[in-house]
């Protein structure tokens, strides 16, 4: 209909799923300052939930809804268990969740164990229809993130990310907001995982390992922690770059590691921070030019 080839449709679909997944982590790490190194576990929970529900005969929509609910509820449970830890200890805790998920999936014969789940039913919308569905969810996720960032809850998240103790002193219910961030972020990760499962039609535990968690964290950091459009841009580019340039896939971790190092060294605010620096520099130069021009006799 749009003159796109099957390969181009697959690229756009993968890009949309990556955007949803990266924004889901941005809600937790970018908005609320809670470091998560096991976010791919919730991506996997959504994928397995939707895959098993649809293979059991449930409609595609029920599979997506189930993925969101299950991933969100488990996210709340993990959030409750993590309330007493922060910073490095929270990172280690969430990393452990990721490894625990992989271990369970490998040993659980009901979900295929190490062999994974194959022949996952499609959406029934066709490739083009599924692409538009993914893009629609992506747009909704962007709009939701922007609205949340500018809402009273977003300001509370900012306060917690800046200084959790001070936020508690001024009367914010820090535990409540941290759980809300985990619930929303993991639910969105579950949605992304479900879309991924119905896109590739096959999943196994290795699809949601530590490497995937680091990959999505790289997208958030490179795009700019807390920036919506920066994360969208980074996720879109980094998700399809290995597909565009085949040899990069073998060196993906090296590439992401190099980009992370470069960003932390030269632009801690990521691409979004770099753009702001450039705009400020241009604005200051224009102001100086106007000032110097105004002082001429």
98 and 147, same domain (yes or no): yes
282 and 198, same domain (yes or no): no
288 and 161, same domain (yes or no): no
Kindly report the three-state secondary structure assignment for every residue of 236-276. HHHHHHHHHCHHHHHHHHHHHHHHHHHHHHHCCCHHHHHHH
89 and 111, same domain (yes or no): yes
Distances (CA, A) of 98 to 45, 92, 159, 193, 261: 11, 10, 28, 14, 24
> What token pair was written down for 128?
């083009």
Q: Which domain holds residue 196?
A: 6-266
64 and 201, same domain (yes or no): yes
pTM (predicted TM-score): 0.88
98 and 202, same domain (yes or no): yes
* Number of independent structural domains in the chain: 2
How confident is the prediction along the chain (297 residues), in pLDDT tens digits per residue? 567 788 888 889 999 999 999 999 999 998 888 888 889 999 999 999 999 999 988 999 999 999 999 999 999 988 888 777 777 778 888 888 888 999 899 888 888 888 888 888 888 888 889 999 999 999 999 999 999 999 989 899 888 888 888 888 888 888 899 999 999 999 999 999 999 999 988 998 888 988 888 889 888 988 888 889 989 998 988 888 766 665 566 667 777 777 777 777 776 667 776 677 676 767 777 766 776 665 544
For residue 25, the domain's CATH number is: 1.10.3470.10
84 and 13, same domain (yes or no): yes
168 and 286, same domain (yes or no): no
| Among 173, 144, 239, 181, residue whose Cα is nearest residue 42 | 181
Alpha-helical (H) ranges within the chain are: 6-25, 40-55, 60-81, 88-107, 126-149, 152-162, 164-169, 174-200, 210-223, 228-244, 252-266, 270-294
How many residues make up the chain in this entry? 297
Residue 208 to residue 47: CA distance in whole angstroms: 9
144 and 200, same domain (yes or no): yes
Residue 189 to residue 43: CA distance in whole angstroms: 5
297 and 251, same domain (yes or no): no
Residue 1 in domain: no
143 and 182, same domain (yes or no): yes
37 and 147, same domain (yes or no): yes
């Amino acid at each position: 209909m749009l003159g796109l080839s099957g390969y181009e449709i697959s690229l756009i679909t993968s890009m949309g799923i990556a955007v949803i997944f990266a924004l889901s982590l941005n809600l937790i790490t970018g908005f609320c300052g809670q470091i998560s190194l096991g976010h791919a576990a919730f991506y996997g929970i959504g994928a397995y939930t939707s895959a098993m529900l649809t293979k059991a005969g449930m409609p595609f929509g029920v599979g997506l809804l189930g993925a969101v609910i299950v991933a969100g509820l488990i996210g709340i449970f993990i959030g409750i268990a993590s309330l007493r830890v922060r910073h490095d200890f929270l990172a280690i805790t969430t990393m452990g969740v990721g490894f625990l998920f992989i271990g369970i999936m490998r040993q659980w014969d009901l979900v295929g164990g190490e062999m994974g789940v194959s022949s996952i039913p499609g959406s029934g919308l066709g490739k083009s229809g599924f692409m538009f569905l993914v893009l629609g969810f992506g747009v909704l996720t962007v709009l939701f993130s922007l609205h949340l960032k500018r809402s009273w809850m977003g300001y509370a998240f900012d306060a917690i990310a800046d200084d959790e103790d001070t936020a508690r002193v001024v009367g914010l219910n820090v535990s409540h907001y941290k759980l809300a961030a985990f619930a929303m972020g993991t639910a969105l990760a579950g949605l992304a995982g479900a879309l991924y499962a119905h896109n590739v039609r096959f999943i196994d535990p290795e699809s949601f390992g530590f490497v995937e968690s680091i990959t999505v964290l790289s997208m958030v950091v490179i795009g700019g922690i807390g920036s919506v459009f920066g994360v969208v841009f980074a996720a879109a580019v980094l998700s399809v770059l290995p597909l565009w340039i085949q040899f990069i896939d073998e060196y993906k971790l090296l590439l992401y590691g190099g980009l992370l190092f470069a960003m932390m060294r030269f632009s801690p605010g990521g691409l979004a921070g770099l753009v702001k620096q450039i705009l400020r520099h241009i604005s200051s130069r224009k102001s100086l030019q106007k000032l110097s021009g105004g002082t001429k006799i």
